[in-house]
Amino acid sequence: MYYGAIEAGGTKFVCAISNDQLEVIERISIPTTTPHETLNQVFTFFDQFSLKSIGIGTFGPIDVNKNSETYGFVTSTPKPGWSHFNFLGAVKERFNVPIAWTTDVNAAAYGEYQKGNAKDNKSCLYLTVGTGIGGGAIINGEILEGFGHPEMGHILVRPHENDSYRGKCPYHHNCLEGLASGPAIEGRYGKKGFELETEDEVWELEAYYLAQALVDYTVILRPEKIILGGGVMKQKQLFPLIRNEFAKIMNSYLPTPDLNQYIVSPGLGDNAGIIGCLLLGSAQK
């Protein structure tokens, strides 16, 4: 029997199975289209195997409140067809096994906490910077959730005095996602981030916004490690820029670990989410 994992993104679903040692045996990638079309392909993949449990980490927002009538639903997502969709219920209807349910970034944070760059820590924060911006936190070994899950991409940030871009987010405009996501970069400059790799001012502005957010997360949560993943963070020149801007904004107010060890890339690379899903699924009874 195998453990199953679903890392559900707005662009693609990654599905995997593992053995008892959580070694990935097989995995596939499925384009995210409609719920019916996408899940049919997910079910076809898992129908080939005898499963012990499944871990799901999905794009959101989602309902993680087990006392809610809509627990297991994707809620107010702009992704066409997925708003107010009973994702967990659809999977439970197909597979009679224990299922873990959380956000994709919570799963990635858990993967990094257990197996990646935060494995020797009691707390960490994982932030993905890509098509959207989202974050998950592990505090004393537990995923941080309350009435709902964190929406770290939607904290408000102070616009740079030389930035006239209004912001991509239709709800807040000058939130972190609105000003620093991949679509925000493209909206501001008319080109995708990878096409602007050598344009220093692009990444200095990006670091300005991301560092503001990391200071906010630091003063509130005091994590031992901050891990930055996602497509935008493939621009490795961002890391020293963010650390320098972070130090400038923090202004020695609070002690932190050495910034070269505090603000880092994922130890599991692009596998943080799927490994986190497998770990969460394997913990289900």
**Tens digit of each residue's pLDDT (9 = 90 or more) over 84-119:** 999 999 999 999 999 999 999 999 999 999 999 999
Q: Categorize the per-residue pLDDT at 142 as very low, low, confident or very high, splitting at 50, 70 and 90.
A: very high
| Structural domains of the chain, with CATH | 2-104+270-282 (3.30.420.40), 117-265 (3.30.420.40)
Q: What is the pLDDT of residue 155?
A: 96
Taken as a whole, the chain contains a residue count of 285
Q: What is the pLDDT of residues 209-242, one digit of tens each?
A: 999 999 999 999 999 999 999 999 999 999 999 9
**Would residue 230 be called left, alpha or beta, if left means φ above 0 and alpha means ψ between -120 and 50 degrees?**
left
pLDDT band at residue 79 under the 50/70/90 scheme: confident
Pairs from 26-30 (Cβ < 8 Å, separation ≥ 24): 27/274
Residues 50 and 53: their CA atoms lie apart, in Å, by 9
